Structure 1
Amino acid sequence: MHKLFATRSPRWFAAAGIAVMALSAALVLPSSSPARAHDALVTSSPAADEVVTSIPTEVSMTYSGEVFDASSAIVVEVIDSAGTNVALTTPVVTDTKVTQAVEPLSSPGVVTVRWRVVSSDGHPISGEYAFTVDAPVAPSTSAEPEASAIAASPSAPGQSPTISSTPEQSAMAGAVAEVDEPTSSISVPLVVTGVAVVILGAAALVFFSSGRRRRQQVKQQKGTVDEQ
């Protein structure tokens, strides 16, 4: 064992110490880095708070990461100024973009978009924004304006329009609580272990270097005695 360490050069001991410290740093740093953040809405069309002068036929949203493509995980509601959800069919997902077709609006005014998707890290995210439609709505050419008004009116006289709660809205409300979860943590045991490894590596380097010097001194002294 002594002969093995005696044949090692100082460079070898230095390299060994550096390797030990690098290994300890690799153990410590990942534990203290923040967890991956959830994706977020980057842009939308029409944009939030935008005033458009034409009737939109669709709304689209672009996120910071790729959206999980599953019809059950994506909910988009487009609520017009009358309180009606005018979203048609299911949203279409293309990488980071979600597009929702809408039916022609019955009146201009504020349109609210409520959305829920699953981000690339597997967590549901949700939100809403609004834009304003400032464009004339084309009058109906059919002879059924009265029937359309009856279909859009409340079931009871004097009752104001209400939006019934749907399972999708309930799921959307539950998803908000899941988003606000901690995104980073520091593992104290791993940090302590990493620091201990660094200290032990440095101590080993000093020990091996000082031991080699002592062996060289003993060897020199022994050679001097033999010559005498």
Structure 2
Amino acid sequence: MRRLASALLALGLLVAAPAAAFAHDVLERTNPADGTTVARLPGSVVLTFSEAPLAIGAQVVVTGPSGPVSSGTPTIAGRDVTQAIAPTAPGGDYTVSYRITSDDGHPVAGSFSFHATIGLDGSTATAGAAVPVKPASTSDDAQGSLLVPILLTIVGTLVLLGVGGFLVLRGREADRG
């Protein structure tokens, strides 16, 4: 009985111990970098995340002065998500909006911008208004996603400790009688 109680207590401590972080993937860098000016528009944009995102539902939309210029679907290789740009894209201000599925299964979305002096089609940029950058909002999602694991950990720990305590007391009664 004591061994069973010890095993249950150890299991309870394992459940109560902090598990792997329940954090979403974070956009670490982009190419072109956010807010920069490039001499010539690249053939693709690359987003590098803190962890390898899942391919499920990956979306990257590159929008320039003439509208969306994304070409095909984004490709994922490790932590990098690459989106090709149409060869007819002109120079100008560009916004890249993304939505990927984090390796923990939650969506991560955001956007960044850059300016290209010359487009892939050789055209020069026209003067335009600066494009504001919208940071990804993950604080509400992160708090909501942590609530369930925390509650399950607390309830599971209490149940295991209760069962372990019951078995210890029962074992003491058995030793007396």
Q: Assess same fold via TM > 0.5.
A: yes
CA RMSD of aligned residues (A): 3.4
The yes-or-no answer on 1:68 pairing with 2:51 is: no
Partner residue in 1 for 2:82? 99
Structure 1 distance, partners of 2:32, 2:4, is: 55
Identify which of 50, 62, 74 aligns with 1:78. 62
The yes-or-no answer on 1:120 pairing with 2:103 is: yes
Structure 1 distance, partners of 2:39, 2:172, is: 76
Q: Deviations over 1:93-112 (max 9, x none)?
A: 2232211111354233x321
Q: Deviations over 1:76-117 (max 9, x none)?
A: 11112x251111122122232211111354233x32100112
Report the Cα offset of residue 186 of structure 1. 1.9
Unaligned runs of at least 5 residues, structure 2: 125-137
Partner residue in 2 for 1:167? none
Aligned amino acid, residue 26 of structure 1: L
Aligned amino acid, residue 107 of structure 1: G
Partner residue in 1 for 2:135? none
The yes-or-no answer on 1:53 pairing with 2:19 is: no
Instruction: Normalising by structure 2, report the TM-score.
Output: 0.66
What SS is found at the alignment partner of 2:146? coil
Aligned length: 155
In proportion to residue count, which structure has more strand? Answer: 2
Structure 2 distance, partners of 1:58, 1:23, is: 54
Aligned amino acid, residue 112 of structure 2: Y
Instruction: Normalising by structure 1, report the TM-score.
Output: 0.53
Bigger radius of gyration among the two: 1
Partner residue in 2 for 1:195? 161
Report the Cα offset of residue 191 of structure 1. 2.9
Report the Cα offset of residue 205 of structure 1. 6.7
Identify which of 44, 66, 71 aligns with 2:30. 44
Structure 1 distance, partners of 2:38, 2:4, is: 62
Cα 1:189/1:92, change in 2 over 3 Å: closer
In proportion to residue count, which structure has more helix? Answer: 1
Identity of aligned residues (%): 24
